[in-house]
Chains A and B, each alone.
Chain A
Amino acid sequence: MGNKQTIFTPEQLDAYQVQNKLNGLFYRYRDLAPQLVPLDYTDKPDVTLPYELIGSMPELKDNPFRQRIAEVFSEDGDGNMTLDDFLDMFSVLSEMAPRDLKAYYAFKIYDFNNDDYICKSDLEKTVNKLTRNELTPEEVRLVCEKVIYEADLDNDGKLSLEDFQHMIIRAPDFLSTFHIRI
């Protein structure tokens, strides 16, 4: 690598999927809190950045789902991310992640109460985030009922992962819209 400082061991490099962008992503992670993140990661230091820093990134700060995204990818479920979580997040949201992986994580993002189903209350929260709370509760309820009616295949009143994946198949744009450029 010449005069570049080695940040990762070769085994670490192999383990991460986003190999070519690894250095770029690491510097973005470090830029959020230079005093907390060391430059040398070969001994796997235990560093976690709080959600407030992650949520202030320009790629995420205006996204209505930024809190859910951080919660889904963080180890503790509160949005505080280690470097591994950070890299996982951007590798799932990159162009090269397969459809099934993206569908799985999109499902988890929309599942606000983490019960492995998108129930009516999850849908209502999603609709409110998508429309910036501009709809009346009556309209929100109507929309959620329509969504469940269309997408619920096994008739249990909520969307399971299979229902969600079945819906994704009919939306070929999903792969390009569920994508954040960094």
Chain B
Amino acid sequence: SMSTRERIKKFICLALQSFRRFRNSLSEHFHQLWLWHKTLKIIGGEFGTSVLSYFIFLKWLLSFNIFSFLINFSFITVPQFIAAEPNNLSFTGLELLTGAGYFQQTVLYYGFYTNATISKTENGASYNMQLAYIFTVGIYFVICLLILLFSMAKSFCRNFINPQTYSGNASKLLCTWDFNVTNEKAVKLKQKNLSTQVKVQNPGDAKRCSNMTNGHPTIVPSRELTQQLSVQLLVLFLCRNIILKISIIGILCYYWLDIVAESKSQCWETLIGQDIYRLILVDFIFCLLGSFFGEFLRRIIGTTVCVSLGVPEFDIARNVLDLIYAQTLTWIGILFSPLLPGIQMISFFIVFYTKKVSLMKNCQPPRQVWRAAQMTTFFMFLLFFPSLIGVLSVIAVTVWRLKPSEECGPFRGLSSMFAAVSEWIKILENYTGSKWVVWIYNNLITSELFFFILSIIFLIITYLYWQIIEGRKTMVKLLRNQIVNVSSSFSFILFKIQDVHQKAETVGFAVPGRKVTWRGSRNHDEKTHHLKESSMPPYSYVSLCLYIT
């Protein structure tokens, strides 16, 4: 029989095991979504990891929208169906393009939702629509924030964003063969690209001679120079696009929050919702058009009219930025049009299949190494920092500062959307069972002192971690220097041993002990010997010194 302690240990072991199994299966089925598994495998097999990263990013954003649509539909829309008012408008096909008209009186927009407390039966369970609306949207954004934060941190941790990478041939040759590529043609193409890169980097004598015999020596720019230029162009392109899109969204938000909201029109939230619907629709249409012109027509031109252009490559940066822009718009629109993620979901589905077909038919695999890992981390950072944080600021301003419209929506008549929560807290004060909720609200959520102290604590922790990182960086540098120093002193010691050996032999003494040979240092000495005990730890050269003396 086992003692209590052993029993507890076994129980904890079993509990951890089952938790681990549960977490694995959850992450496998939910987070990774076996949707499109085969398609992604084919894309990766033919085009490599960098192009695949775009499609994985698209699938990831799609999961955000599916999650949002599901919770909005279950918690906000379904109860609204029970308390729905009849729709007197008629449906013409134009609504699909403008979002106005018939759709104005449907669950698509904020204005349709009731501010009543819905109950199916008299004195039965009641459902407070105001609280449901604000809490659903709020909790969704908190979850999004946490997911994005953890994914971004994990990505940073894995990829060590370091702008000095790819400085040499070694990592390029040994670490970048893409094992994902399984298509025979793609493998051959990759091998050809690699051999071309190597040839260009080491122009042989034959090439030099042919350059000279033309009469005038031609200047072939080195590979490093062209690669540096292309990286700089990419960075410039990214910065320009990002600034452009942020400015557009910024101006739009200012227009919506300052002008439309204050305009005393009938139902300004619905108007904003309609604007966002139209923007998303147009963005979707232009995304498809971009695929048509940028890839399909470009391939036609590149293969028939202007053959020197060749077949296009898939422009990963531009497409990912388009996705981030669309997702930002959707996030802004969730408060004003709860079913917008559903529309974006459909749009992402169509975009996925369009891009996939266009990729397979019109594009060639990328020629240059694309730094997929760093780029993915950078795009996730973009999604977090201007995109989600900006959206949260807009939502915060809307919920705290703006006065909801008088005649429509779940918050009609209140001074602000957040007032629904404060009124609920006031009601809760009368129940003794919920005093803790009131306490939390008064002392943690609305208390400025609490947030001030929390900010100070976080700043201190950040500062401490920053100093620790600086210290570790210095230590890494020191250790690296130490490796180089040890190896060069090691070579020096062995040179001395060799010297002593030779002197002893000329004098006539046989020097006992092991035969140690050495390899010349970095100037490619022709004496290529192998160290007999090559993995000697550093302290052993001290013992060798003692042996010599």
Give residues in A with beta carbon < 8 Å to B.
14, 19-21, 58-65, 93, 99, 106, 110, 117, 126-127, 130-132, 134-136, 138-139, 142-143, 145-147, 149-151, 153-157, 160, 164, 167-181
Contacts and interface: CB of A to CB of B under 8 A. Distances in A.
B488 to A, nearest CB: 7
A170 B170 CA distance: 10
Contacts of B184: 62
Given A19-B21, A167-B175, A156 B531 contact: yes
B-side interface mostly: helix
A54 to B, nearest CB: 14
Contacts of A106: 174-175
A177 B158 contact: no
Given A147-B169, A150-B170, A181-B40, A173 B372 contact: yes
B28 interface: yes
Contacts of A61: 182
Interface string B485-502: 011101100000000000
Given A63-B182, A173-B175, A179-B180, 12 more contacts: A117-B534, A130-B194, A132-B191, A143-B202, A146-B168, A151-B170, A170-B162, A170-B166, A172-B371, A175-B159, A175-B373, A181-B180
A131 B37 CA distance: 30
B525 to A, nearest CB: 10
B175 A168 contact: yes
A18 B169 CA distance: 34
B35 to A, nearest CB: 14
B483 interface: yes
B187 interface: yes
Interface stretch (B394-402, B421-429, B516-524): B516-524
Interface string B509-546: 00000000001011010001011001100000000000
Contacts of B374: 172-173
Contacts of B24: 19-20
Contact of B158 (A149, A153, A172): A172
Nearest to B26: A20
A126 B187 contact: no
A164 B174 CA distance: 9
Nearest to A57: B182
Contact of B25 (A20, A58, A62, A143): A20
Interface string B388-426: 000000000000000000000000000000000000000
B264 to A, nearest CB: 54
A143 to B, nearest CB: 6
Contacts of A180: 179-180, 182
A170 B534 CA distance: 25
Contact of B165 (A21, A127, A146, A172): A172
Contacts of A63: 179, 182, 187
Given A147-B174, A157-B528, A175-B373, A64 B191 contact: yes
Given A146-B169, A170-B162, A173-B176, A58 B483 contact: no
Closest 8 CB pairs of A and B: A131-B195, A171-B175, A172-B159, A151-B170, A171-B171, A172-B373, A132-B191, A155-B487
Interface residues of B, number: 69
Residue of A19, A153, A157, A179 with most chain B CB atoms under a 10 A cut-off = A157
Given A130-B194, A153-B484, A147 B491 contact: no
B198 A143 contact: yes
A142 to B, nearest CB: 5
B192 interface: yes
Contact of A153 (B172, B371, B483): B483
Interface of B: 17, 21, 24-25, 28, 37, 40-41, 44-45, 49, 53, 158-162, 164-184, 187-188, 191-192, 194-195, 198-199, 202, 204, 369, 371-374, 483-484, 486-488, 490-491, 519, 521-522, 524, 528, 530-531, 534-535
Q: Identify which of A142, A143, A167, A177 gathers the most chain B CB atoms within 10 Å of its CB.
A: A177
15 contacts: A63-B179, A106-B175, A110-B174, A130-B173, A130-B191, A132-B191, A139-B204, A157-B528, A157-B530, A168-B171, A169-B160, A170-B164, A171-B166, A172-B159, A177-B176
Contacts of A117: 534
Contacts of B164: 170
Given A127-B173, A171-B171, A59 B182 contact: yes
Nearest to A99: B158
Contacts of A149: 522
A28 B162 CA distance: 39
A132 B53 CA distance: 27
Given A20-B25, A155-B487, A160-B535, A62 B182 contact: yes
A22 to B, nearest CB: 11
Contact of B174 (A134, A156, A167, A181): A167
Contacts of A110: 174
A19 B18 CA distance: 12
Contacts of A135: 195, 198-199
Contacts of B165: 170-172
Contacts of B161: 172
A66 B1 CA distance: 52
Nearest to A95: B32
B24 to A, nearest CB: 6
Nearest to A60: B182
Given A153-B487, A176-B49, A167 B170 contact: yes
Nearest to A157: B519
B206 to A, nearest CB: 9
A176 B372 contact: yes
A130 B202 CA distance: 16
Listed residue (A62, A110, A135) with the most chain B CB atoms within 10 angstroms of its CB:
A62
